[in-house]
């Protein structure tokens, strides 16, 4: 008798693989869940008390299942050999070289896993695309897998992940939907049902939707493109608000009350960051161009152009309002993570703003409760005076300006009177997330510059 009903493997122990598999293991004690990675250091961290990523609720879920039915390992071969279902959750960054550089997805890590699966498999397996991939990738995956001695023993499914960082555990426990794409052949439908049965352990059946493979692959890119489009739309309007005395929060409130539009994801900001929005839109734009759909490509590229414009607009606003010179001025950046409740800084707008301020020869103090290690790494090649100071009061002391880059809750309730007293005057406050009480800040004495509101 087998000890477990099913053996599930995940290749790639990153921001997606780790939390996703931890939740499956937690919800399904009858399955053995193993996560493998070529990065031995990362695996060691997953097996330690200090997990490699910060995510609310993750520690509890991992600790409850680790060693019982959740295992982290570096032995990819053994993992593949003994598994029934293999999730592939490796990184698919933007290509930096050759054809499609700066646009297309770099599929080298992806293809390597396909070849490893083929080499080490001795029994039929279901292969699940968890990474975000260009539409039609499953076709390539199938061709690589079928090229071996045992064609027919693999079925490829697409099951994109929709979790957002900072809320990964609750997103996984209560997803809006789970999407599973398969070939619509007899064996494809059978494999699809096996994966539905895994999710059925905790996700209501009406939230598990099934489609053909290509719809599933494409829906992931489109979801991210629509989400980012919503942010670029509100950010574009924030520029117009600043010229016309309209208030972006009031506009967003009025627009978002229309249930057809929805009130979420309408927070104007210094720009969106994160490892995926930019990469996935570039990927979509590249696909459109590849298929000769240049007008469609231009439309989606506009979302990225507005995001770049918003980041640069923020810097120019700082420069213009601080008498057109930042040289030698001290600026405190509050928050370096790309959003609150994560230590992740990938594509964070704070990276762009910090680099631009350094180019203007400002002295930059960077503060963040979780992301300082990543921040140091992101700026290791930047020239100029940069200091990394966890305590926000220390970071702001003696500064000419504060720039809020991340919407961490702790920044909403700092003692701004004391911070103001400790700063050089006139003291400036640029709220890149609109999280502060701007009238109150003005009364304290700050020159206040929110996004999309009269200052
Ligand atoms: P990540 O870089 O954090 O993790 C990927 C891991 O895969 C790394 O630890 C890497 O060492 C490992 N890896 C690469 N090649 C390997 C191989 N051949 N064998 C074993 N391990 C290998 O990336 P991530 O943020 O977890 O993203 C993974 C995928 O999920 C991407 O396609 C991304 O677009 C998608 N995605 C990410 C998020 C998110 O919030 N980060 C959300 C949804 C989807
Ligand atoms: C996003 C999507 O929300 C997930 O559904 C998706 O799975 C994921 O990308 C992915 O594919 O990687 P994530 O990037 O983790 O998740 O975080 P979001 O909450 O979407 O925030 C992205 C960026 O947009 C952040 O910089 C955030 O601060 C910014 N944002 C968000 C705004 O500026 N305004 C808003 O109203 C919302």
CA of 74 to the centre of ligand 2 (A): 30
Q: What is the mean pLDDT of residues 165-178?
A: 97
Nearest CA to ligand 2 atom 14: 274
The candidate with the shortest Cα–Cα distance to 17, out of 86, 107, 116, is 86
- Where would I find the beta strands (DSSP E) of 345-410? 363-367, 386-388, 401-404
Ligand nearest to the CA of 132: 1
Q: DSSP code of 331? A: E
Ligand-binding annotation for 346, yes or no, is yes
- The catalytic residue among 276, 288, 332, 399 is 276
Q: pLDDT band for position 455 (50/70/90)? A: confident
Q: Which residues pair with 178 in a beta bridge?
A: 208
The confidence score (pLDDT) of residue 1 equals: 54
The confidence score (pLDDT) of residue 358 equals: 98
Q: pLDDT band for position 454 (50/70/90)? A: confident
Closest ligand 2 atom number to CA of residue 433: 33
ipTM, two decimals:
0.98
Neighbours of 228 (CB within 10 A): 23
Contacts with 72 (C-beta within 8 Å, 6 or more apart), sequence order:
13, 34, 35, 36, 37, 43, 46, 47, 66
Compute the distance between CA of residue 41 and CA of residue 178 in angstroms, rounded to an integer.
31
Q: What is the mean pLDDT of residues 50-55?
A: 94
CA of 378 to the centre of ligand 1 (A): 19
Ligand-binding annotation for 92, yes or no, is yes
Digit-coded pLDDT (tens) for 66-90: 999 999 999 999 999 999 999 999 9
| Residue 152 predicted with pLDDT over 80 | no
Q: What is the mean pLDDT of residues 41-45?
A: 98
| pTM of the entire predicted model | 0.96
Q: What is the largest CA-CA distance in the chain?
A: 76
Q: What is the mean pLDDT of residues 95-110?
A: 92
Q: Which of 17, 18, 56, 165 to mutate to test the pocket of ligand 2 (most atoms within 8 A of CB)?
A: 165
Q: Which residues pair with 209 in a beta bridge?
A: 179
Digit-coded pLDDT (tens) for 368-395: 999 999 999 999 999 999 999 999 999 9
Phi-psi region of 98 (alpha: psi -120 to 50; beta: other; left: phi over 0): left
The candidate with the shortest Cα–Cα distance to 372, out of 345, 395, 347, is 345
Closest ligand 2 atom number to CA of residue 267: 36
Ligand 1 pocket residue status of 158, Cβ below 6 Å: no
Ligand-binding annotation for 241, yes or no, is no
Ligand nearest to the CA of 272: 2
């Amino acid at each position: 008798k087998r000890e477990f009903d099913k053996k599930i493997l995940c290749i790639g122990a990153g921001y997606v693989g780790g939390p996703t598999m931890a939740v499956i293991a937690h919800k399904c004690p009858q399955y053995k869940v193993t996560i493998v990675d070529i990065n031995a250091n990362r695996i060691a961290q997953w097996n330690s008390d200090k997990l490699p990523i910060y995510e609310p609720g993750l520690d509890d879920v991992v600790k409850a299942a680790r060693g019982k039915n959740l295992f982290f390992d570096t032995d990819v071969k053994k993992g593949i050999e003994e598994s029934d279902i293999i999730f592939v959750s490796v990184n698919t960054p933007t290509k930096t070289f050759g054809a499609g550089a700066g646009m297309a997805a770099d599929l080298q890590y992806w293809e390597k896993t396909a070849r490893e699966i083929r080499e080490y498999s001795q029994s039929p397996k279901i292969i699940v695309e968890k990474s975000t991939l260009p539409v039609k990738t499953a076709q390539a995956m199938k061709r690589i897998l079928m090229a071996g001695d045992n064609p027919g023993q693999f079925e490829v499914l697409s099951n994109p992940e929709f979790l957002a960082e900072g809320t990964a555990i609750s997103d996984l426990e209560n997803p809006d939907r789970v999407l599973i794409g398969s070939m619509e052949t007899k064996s494809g439908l059978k494999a699809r049902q096996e994966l539905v049965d895994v999710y059925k352990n905790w996700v209501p059946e009406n939230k598990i939707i099934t489609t053909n493979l290509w719809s599933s692959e494409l829906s992931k890119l489109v979801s991210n493109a629509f989400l980012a489009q919503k942010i670029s739309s509100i950010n574009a309007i924030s520029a117009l608000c600043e010229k016309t005395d309209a208030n972006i929060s009031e506009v967003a409130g009025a627009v978002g009350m229309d249930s057809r539009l929805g009130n979420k994801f309408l927070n104007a900001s210094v720009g969106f960051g994160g490892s995926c929005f930019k990469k996935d839109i570039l990927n979509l734009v590249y696909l459109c161009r590849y298929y000769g759909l240049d007008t469609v490509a231009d439309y989606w590229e506009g979302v990225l152009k507005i995001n770049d414009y918003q980041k640069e607009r923020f810097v120019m606003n700082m420069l213009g309002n601080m008498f057109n010179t930042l040289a030698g001025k001290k600026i405190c950046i509050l928050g370096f993570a790309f959003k609150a409740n994560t230590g992740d800084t990938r594509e964070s707008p704070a990276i762009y703003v910090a680099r631009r301020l350094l180019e203007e020869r400002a002295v930059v103090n960077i503060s963040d409760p979780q992301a300082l290690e990543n921040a140091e790494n992101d700026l290791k090649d930047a020239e100029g005076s940069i200091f990394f100071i966890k305590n926000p009061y220390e970071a702001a002391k003696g500064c000419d300006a504060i720039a809020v880059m991340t919407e961490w809750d702790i920044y909403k309730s700092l003692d701004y009177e004391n911070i103001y007293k400790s700063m050089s005057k006139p003291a400036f406050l640029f709220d890149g997330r609109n999280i502060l009480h701007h009238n109150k800040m003005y009364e304290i004495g700050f020159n206040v510059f929110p996004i999309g509101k009269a200052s």
